[in-house]
Structure 1
């Protein structure tokens, strides 16, 4: 089983740049919730993630793409924002959710099974919008990688 752990970025390393894309979460009752997400697709981007950020707009987030299906372990070291983490399968369906991950914590957050993506949103978003496991995430990157596999 392959493992992935987001690790701290050294201060000497330049800040990574992230492309953005629209992303929609479709709940079981058919409601759509639109976001703009930064894409963390390279090892360095995934390593940096949302570390050292002090704020993020309500309709923003970050989508981590791992390029394979595997169990993922993350943490909140150097992350000042409480985050909701949505662990997604290749099909874009939400498999597990970690709500309100504690800022600056080094506690490991486990995907609890093989996944392909992690979507990070501001803490409280899942509860506010009624997002649940089984909901579908629609995004160009997810669709293009699903077709390529």
Structure 2
């Protein structure tokens, strides 16, 4: 009987590990961006599926980590925070890399936060990241991936 219990305990531990792994959101390729003297490590969400997933279910971000959303044509972009656990700020960015507007977003909210004009990129960072670094509309973000 003890051997059976040990086998069951091992199986439960293995199942728990699998479930924890399955719950961890997939990480996307990371690039370095710049905002003035600040370096950002941004995951790139370039497909519909990646953009739809975004930063959902993430429990933390590093101090200069975020996600850049790449749109392949100028778009009237709106973001929301469904299943997103972290408070975020989003910068909507034009093709030339200049920030159009920045919006703060509450976790797990269905409120829409929209670009004030068609944009090619959106950059999500921890809430307040842009404000704490005096990064405002008109600031240029360097290193953005090419929009095709």
Q: Which runs of 4+ in 1 moved over 3 A?
A: 14-17
* Larger helix percent: 2
Question: Whole-Å Cα distance in 2 between the matches of residues 106 and 58 of structure 1?
Answer: 25
Written as runs of structure 1 = structure 2, the 5 A alignment for 1:1-149 is 15-26=25-36, 32-99=37-104, 101-141=105-145, 144-145=146-147
What's the TM-score, normalizing by structure 1?
A: 0.80
Question: Whole-Å Cα distance in 1 between the matches of residues 25 and 62 of structure 2?
Answer: 19
Question: Whole-Å Cα distance in 2 between the matches of residues 35 and 119 of structure 1?
Answer: 10
Task: Count residues in correspondence.
Answer: 127
* Larger strand percent: 1
Unaligned runs of 5+ in 2: 1-21
Unaligned runs of 5+ in 1: 1-11, 27-31
Report the aligned-residue RMSD: 1.9
Give 3-state SS (helix, strand or coil) of 2:68's partner.
Answer: strand
What's the TM-score, normalizing by structure 2?
A: 0.80
- Which structure has the larger Rg? 2
- The answer on whether the counterparts of 2:81 and 2:111 sit within 8 Å (CA) in structure 1 is yes
**In the TM superposition, what whole-angstrom CA distance separates every residue of 1:26-52 from its partner, at most 9, and x where no partner exists?**
2xxxxx111100000011100000000
Question: Whole-Å Cα distance in 1 between the matches of residues 25 and 57 of structure 2?
Answer: 10
Question: Whole-Å Cα distance in 2 between the matches of residues 140 and 71 of structure 1?
Answer: 19
